[in-house]
Structure 1
């Protein structure tokens, strides 16, 4: 039997029929690329996310720091690549600085940026939502959150693409490997300068809070800090851009919801949660089995790289009625869109806040968002699924 290739163009364009077929017949199986294992059912994905002793986050290290990179990737030092108890220690220290108050302090700036970008799109009418709105909106959040120089925003997308694309670089592609190494050098220099600046002159920003954070007299090391800044930067940009882009695409394909949400603003939170279920920003997360495991009657060997397909789990017929129907009125089980258990995303609150502000500003200015492409090109990534561009015409209210 031919294995499903997760990177095949037809799968990237619409993976959900393929996922449904796997859930029915081969819920835990091997696929391409590289014969990795996938887990497709909701209950199995939750079980694996909870079992950190068998399904180790060290599996992500295979993707972030392959041997042919021949260089340390600071992302490998982040809490997303740590198992308990080390993960718990890092999360407690970071959580002292990354609080609801931190997110709340950004909302006014998020709103003014979203309003400005939305007004600029109104003037042009036909735009690429990804490059003209989603990327600059989230880049500005990172500038404010981390206290970065706004002049660096032009490099943000390249940095994110290179860091998240390490696993897709062929061992013999020396040109791309050289580009990725150069990106890591640039990011390390930028983040090191930022840390040194905040040590000399602390402020009320997140980086200063991270430097001050203490739990039982323990503090974050330089490696911990660099790892978290890399994670927050690349994951924060990619997941938020993906969420905003899918939100705009759903509004374009289902225009009735622009009218409904204007008439019933109280539905907005449910709308965002259904976007997260229908098109989760983290489409899959990787693990490494430290021992043999059994899911849905299938034995997965020890030392296997496993992709937990969150995008499939959130369309599981056993958990969701009419899972391929976009329905913000549904009362679904707890969302897996930002992880589960120990590895629930520490930035979920920020992503939801950004989505809410963006949705409010789009509804305030536009009567419709209309798609202006017959077919979309999609990124090639195990972790996220997002259009590379989203050509739309915005129709003012």
Structure 2
């Protein structure tokens, strides 16, 4: 392999899987751009690193979410950047509000949101699927959970896109710095007002639950509350947008599956699982090594930033049969798209629910979809998906 692979190169963003295959085969531990991160591309190595925070510290996330030019970013203080024991304490507090019951009681509201949004997809007309359906669906759900102003859905979208782009924004991208700093300030001001309001005027929403949560008499601090709200608004929104978008992309790539799923809606959950493997929303998570770490004949130095390539791991030939084939009938469970070990995503059940219900609504209204122009991919080192997705919906 000559020279470093640049994972943000346009041709790699459009289709990273041949590059991932080359890395798994020829250079399973290697430095890549941007930033000279050390990339782990094999399933076994990525999974092992997730389960070993003593060597692969979660503080690595902070290096990509709070660079020097940005400085303060509550997202970079959330539990996603913490190792034990701090992580366990915060996750226990948050989990009290983020229960399966709280998620399941959202299904009827998700269906209502999806039905309203599906009406905006005019049959046989070109529509941007991200703008019309994939983004406002999870934005509406997050707004409902937190009791946020539904009129601000477009603002949530901008916040999510801006904050998720931090990982791929370099010191040289000075034209982006001020905009992202303004976004952080705007988010923090608005969410601080929401928290202050719930302390005085409790509601039946998750912010109130988080304010009132106690574990052995201990509550979340204001800073911890803010970091968790940033985490949910950014990570919970952006990853679900991409999941819903990728689901419809796969229906375009494999149009026979639309008919199959329309005939048997019970298969939609299985379809979503294969989309998560085949086109995961999260392609990489950063860790920092706490010591010199030998792996596959290479020594990763202490203090190095390591990119765990989830997108590559989900296509690893040693783990999945015919990994580059979309096969919704494949057996086995693959939770890696939602992380692994202590950092398995709390929002995974909600993301799966939104994707399933969204597809149920879309397939009840349309017989299928077709592409109506090129995709524009987002600019994030960690999350991969379309910023715009022009398509035509075909009446059922």
In structure 2, stretches of 5+ residues that fail to align are none
Quick one: distance in 2 between partners of 1:167 and 1:384?
9
* TM-score, with structure 1 as normaliser: 0.97
CA contact (8 A) 1:253 1:371 kept: no
The yes-or-no answer on 1:263 pairing with 2:263 is yes
How many residues end up aligned between the 2 structures? 395
CA contact (8 A) 1:139 1:156 kept: yes
Give the CA deviation at 1:201: 1.3
User: 1:394 is paired with a residue of what secondary structure?
Assistant: strand
Give the CA deviation at 1:83: 0.7
Which residue of 2 is the match for residue 318 of structure 1? 318
* TM-score, with structure 2 as normaliser: 0.97
Residues 368-393 of structure 1: CA deviation (Å, up to 9, x unaligned): 111112x3221121111112211111
User: 2:367 is paired with a residue of what secondary structure?
Assistant: strand
Give the CA deviation at 1:141: 0.7
Give the CA deviation at 1:31: 0.9
Residues 188-241 of structure 1: CA deviation (Å, up to 9, x unaligned): 111111101110011221011111111112211111000000000000110000
Quick one: distance in 2 between partners of 1:57 and 1:214?
25
How do residues 34-53 of structure 1 correspond to structure 2 at under 5 angstroms?
34-53=35-54
Which residue of 2 is the match for residue 376 of structure 1? 375
Quick one: distance in 1 between partners of 2:177 and 2:19?
32
Which residue of 1 is the match for residue 228 of structure 2? 228
The yes-or-no answer on 1:386 pairing with 2:385 is yes
Q: For the structure 1 residues 261 and 123, does the alpha-carbon distance in structure 2 shift closer, same or farther, using more than 3 Å as the test?
A: closer
In structure 1, stretches of 5+ residues that fail to align are none
Quick one: distance in 2 between partners of 1:81 and 1:269?
30
The yes-or-no answer on 1:103 pairing with 2:79 is no
Give the CA deviation at 1:113: 1.2
Which residue of 2 is the match for residue 58 of structure 1? 59
Give the CA deviation at 1:346: 0.7
CA contact (8 A) 2:29 2:298 kept: yes
Residues 29-88 of structure 1: CA deviation (Å, up to 9, x unaligned): 11111211100000000000000011011111111111122x311112211011111001
* Segment drifting more, 297-306 vs 345-354: 297-306
CA contact (8 A) 1:319 1:333 kept: no
Give the CA deviation at 1:123: 5.1
RMSD: 1.3
Give the CA deviation at 1:333: 4.3
Give the CA deviation at 1:175: 4.0
